[in-house]
């Protein structure tokens, strides 16, 4: 029986398994190793991966991405008319990955090793297990992502004690961890990060630069230029190209949009200076938490697609005064390591991975109002317990009533990382009566106490009277019962993914559409014709004709794309 390994990433997910020759990647239905962690619905048809990602632009209301960020939280995602939690979306993704593995390995798959961030707490780990159960997969083991990365590099085989740092810059998250291995036990000593920093921010910085340039060369207001999706796509292409070469030529001639510019690595450095600054804080913090200085590190491991950027690599070597390990593909490292763990399990031995679950995975806080240009505006988030705080923890914050004479203060509790509460998750609220005080605003102390089992106690005290009132929030992450999982499993079963060949056709259609947005008049006609001809062929269902058309379309699109990024 084969245990597969799954890297259930925020941006991309991967599959692998362990063979006699070591870990091996499993391609998805499109023959690719990376499956974008994106889900989209078209009626009861489910899109997972590349075609769902393409629909992020065309059908944003039916498409969800980045849901790993709210894993274990009950934040609903509404897709079309339906509502899903991150667990359910992850279940749909896992189900597709499982099917891809079954097709490739030609047999049923029942068990998987799944990687999770080191800072995931008990509740989030349970959420991953619930998602796996909904996808009909047993979790043979959850492995910490940095531990998996270390396993992929064979760092567990060191004779003597060794210390290393795992630097993981993905699409939308940044995690840095310090690990120690000693006598077959791998321990996560410290972890820090930024849940809102990743490769996509570099893309956004390039896009902003292109927007500013295109606004000048097209003689249009930047706000109008920003509305064109072409520039976002071009920015991503430019970012990838700059990891390979020193400069890239970008050309757009789609009236009213005009752009003709050479983007160099130096320019990229310049426009992403602030992002590099943001990488610094978690790095310093993890070193501080582990009481280490760069000389104490034996090795540095690079993980995450965004560490392919030369500027990130050279920055890491400069700061840590050490060349990082980079012999493995950074976006494949985690899943390869998870497969090593799967291999160890099937040999009835396993690496002991000391899990670091004693941290709060989310920031917890309350809603506050703020004065903006003389007007009082509600909806802002005031963190009280910061993400990644060691549990149990208790923190107090003093709030002041907005106006004198106020009779009551509402304390609304939220979890999340966004500055505005509308993007965070509402957990509960408590109204605190305050004495009538005409002259000045009353002060209220709000204490949050959070423990490992997921209990949050909110304790309020009116300072002038000493009166207390409290609120207890249970099971923040909402663990699902066996029965709930079974019910959802049935409901989710109605959504069907396209069979393998159709998945490829769907992706190609989406690609033609994407090129269409980039194109100008005559090219647009050609692309439209291409789409129509292809649709006509698909209706006839002659697979050899379709196959031939796919090949010619693919090479035509590649030639077309070379026109604007080269």
Position 308 contacts ligand ADP (CB under 6 A) = yes
Cβ at position 34, least distance to ligand ADP in Å: 6
Which run of H or of E encompasses 14? strand 12-19
Position 10 contacts ligand ADP (CB under 6 A) = yes
Q: 337 is in the binding site of which of ligand ADP, Mg ion, none (Cβ under 5 to 8 A by kind)?
A: none
Both structure tokens of 436? 């009538």
Helix (H, G, I), strand (E, B) or coil at 44: coil
Cβ at position 127, least distance to ligand ADP in Å: 17
Contact 290, 191 (CB under 8 A): no
172 Ramachandran zone, left/alpha/beta (phi>0; psi -120 to 50): alpha
Reported in sequence order, the residue ranges of 20-98 that DSSP labels E, i.e. its strands, are: 22-26, 35-36, 38-42, 45-48, 63-65, 77-79, 82-84
Contact 341, 148 (CB under 8 A): yes
Closest to ligand ADP by CB, 9 vs 72, is: 9
Contact 156, 230 (CB under 8 A): no
Cβ at position 305, least distance to ligand ADP in Å: 2
Contact 113, 31 (CB under 8 A): no
Cβ at position 493, least distance to ligand ADP in Å: 26
Position 337 contacts Mg ion (CB under 5 A) = no
Closest to ligand ADP by CB, 100 vs 442, is: 100
Query: Of the candidates 115, 137, 113, 99, which has an alpha carbon nearest to the alpha carbon of residue 485?
Result: 137
Phi and psi torsions of 466, nearest 5°: 80, 5
Cβ at position 327, least distance to ligand ADP in Å: 16
> Could you tell me whether strands 425-433 and 408-415 are parallel, antiparallel, or unpaired per DSSP bridges?
antiparallel
Candidates 123-131, 154-162, 303-311, 549-557; binding stretch for ligand ADP (CB under 6 A): 303-311
Query: Of the candidates 213, 149, 82, 114, which has an alpha carbon nearest to the alpha carbon of residue 495?
Result: 82
Candidates 18-26, 263-271, 301-309, 394-402; binding stretch for ligand ADP (CB under 6 A): 301-309
From 56, 57, 240, 526, residue interacting with ligand ADP (rule: CB under 6 A): 240
Position 170 contacts Mg ion (CB under 5 A) = yes
Using CB under 6 A as the binding rule, the residues of this chain from 309 to 368 that contact ligand ADP are 309, 331
CA–CA distance from 381 to each of 74, 185, 481, 512 (Å)? 18, 40, 32, 42
405-438 burial string, b = 16+ CB within 10 Å, else e?
Answer: eeeebebbbbbbbeeebeebbebeebebebeeee
Closest to ligand ADP by CB, 309 vs 340, is: 309
Position 239 contacts ligand ADP (CB under 6 A) = yes
Closest to ligand ADP by CB, 201 vs 353, is: 201
Cβ at position 304, least distance to Mg ion in Å: 5
DSSP assignment, residue 481? P
Closest to Mg ion by CB, 166 vs 214, is: 166
- How far is it, in rounded angstroms, from Cα 93 to Cα 36? 9
Using CB under 6 A as the binding rule, the residues of this chain from 449 to 468 that contact ligand ADP are none
From 3, 6, 11, 460, residue interacting with ligand ADP (rule: CB under 6 A): 11
Candidates 134-142, 304-312, 513-521, 523-531; binding stretch for ligand ADP (CB under 6 A): 304-312
Using CB under 5 A as the binding rule, the residues of this chain from 104 to 143 that contact Mg ion are none
Cβ at position 240, least distance to ligand ADP in Å: 5
CA–CA distance from 414 to each of 47, 68, 122, 391 (Å)? 31, 18, 19, 18
From 3, 9, 90, 109, residue interacting with Mg ion (rule: CB under 5 A): 9
Radius of gyration of the chain (CA): 25
Both structure tokens of 502? 């159709």
Q: 239 is in the binding site of which of Mg ion, ligand ADP, none (Cβ under 5 to 8 A by kind)?
A: ligand ADP
Using CB under 6 A as the binding rule, the residues of this chain from 135 to 174 that contact ligand ADP are 170-173
From 23, 49, 199, 337, residue interacting with ligand ADP (rule: CB under 6 A): 199
- How far is it, in rounded angstroms, from Cα 151 to Cα 155? 6
Cβ at position 94, least distance to Mg ion in Å: 16
Which stretches of the chain bind Mg ion, using CB under 5 A? 9, 170
* Interacting residue ranges for ligand ADP, rule: CB under 6 A: 9-12, 170-173, 198-200, 239-240, 243, 304-306, 308-309, 331
């Amino acid at each position: 029986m084969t245990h597969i390994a799954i890297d259930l990433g925020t941006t991309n997910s991967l599959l692998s398994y362990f063979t006699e020759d070591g870990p091996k990647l499993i391609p998805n239905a499109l023959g690719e190793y990376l499956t974008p962690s994106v889900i989209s619905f078209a009626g009861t048809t489910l899109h997972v991966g590349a075609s769902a990602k393409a629909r992020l632009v065309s059908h944003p209301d039916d498409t969800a991405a980045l849901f790993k960020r709210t894993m274990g939280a009950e934040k609903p995602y509404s897709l079309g008319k339906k509502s899903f939690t991150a667990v359910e979306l992850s279940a749909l993704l896992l189900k597709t990955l499982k099917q891809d593995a079954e097709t490739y390995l030609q047999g049923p798959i029942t068990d998987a090793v799944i990687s999770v961030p080191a800072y995931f707490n008990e509740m989030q780990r349970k959420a991953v297990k619930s998602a796996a159960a909904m996808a009909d997969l047993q979790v043979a083991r959850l492995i910490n992502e940095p531990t998996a990365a270390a396993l992929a590099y064979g760092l567990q085989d060191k004779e003597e004690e060794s210390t290393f740092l795992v630097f993981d810059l993905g699409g939308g998250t940044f995690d840095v961890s310090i690990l120690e291995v000693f006598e077959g036990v791998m321990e996560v000593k410290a972890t820090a990060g930024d849940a809102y920093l990743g490769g996509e921010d570099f893309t956004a910085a390039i896009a902003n630069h292109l927007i500013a340039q295109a606004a000048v060369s097209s003689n249009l207001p930047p706000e109008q230029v920003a509305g064109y999706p072409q520039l976002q796509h071009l920015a991503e292409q430019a970012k990838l190209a700059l990891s390979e070469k020193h400069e890239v030529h970008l050309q757009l001639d789609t009236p009213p949009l005009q752009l003709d510019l050479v983007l160099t690595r130096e320019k990229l450095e310049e426009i992403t200076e602030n992002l590099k600054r943001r990488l610094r804080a978690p790095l310093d913090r993890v070193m501080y938490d582990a009481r280490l200085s760069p000389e104490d590190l034996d090795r540095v491991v690079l993980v995450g697609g965004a560490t392919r950027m030369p500027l990130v690599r050279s920055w890491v070597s400069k700061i840590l005064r050490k060349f990082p390990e980079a012999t493995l593909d950074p976006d494949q490292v985690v899943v390869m390591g998870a497969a090593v763990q799967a291999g160890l399990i099937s040999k009835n031995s396993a690496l002991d991975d000391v899990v670091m679950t004693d941290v709060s995975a989310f920031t917890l806080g309350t809603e506050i109002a703020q004065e903006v240009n003389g007007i009082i505006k509600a909806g802002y988030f005031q963190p009280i317990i910061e993400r990644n705080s060691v549990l149990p923890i208790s923190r107090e914050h003093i709030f002041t009533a907005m106006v004198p004479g106020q009779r009551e203060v509402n304390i609304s509790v939220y979890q999340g990382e966004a500055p505005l509460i509308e993007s965070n998750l509402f957990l509960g609220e408590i109204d605190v009566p305050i004495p009538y005080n005409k002259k000045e605003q009353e002060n209220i102390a709000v204490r949050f106490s959070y423990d490992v089992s997921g209990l949050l106690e909110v304790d309020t005290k009116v300072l002038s009277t000493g009166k207390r009132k409290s609120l207890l929030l249970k099971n923040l992450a909402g663990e699902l019962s066996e029965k709930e999982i079974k019910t959802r499993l049935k409901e989710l079963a109605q959504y069907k993914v396209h069979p393998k060949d159709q998945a490829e056709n769907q992706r190609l259609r989406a690609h033609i559409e994407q090129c269409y947005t980039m194109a100008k008049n005559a090219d647009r006609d050609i692309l439209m014709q291409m789409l129509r001809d292809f649709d006509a062929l698909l209706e006839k269902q002659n697979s050899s004709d379709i196959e031939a058309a796919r090949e010619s379309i693919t090479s035509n699109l590649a030639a077309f794309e070379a026109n604007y990024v080269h």
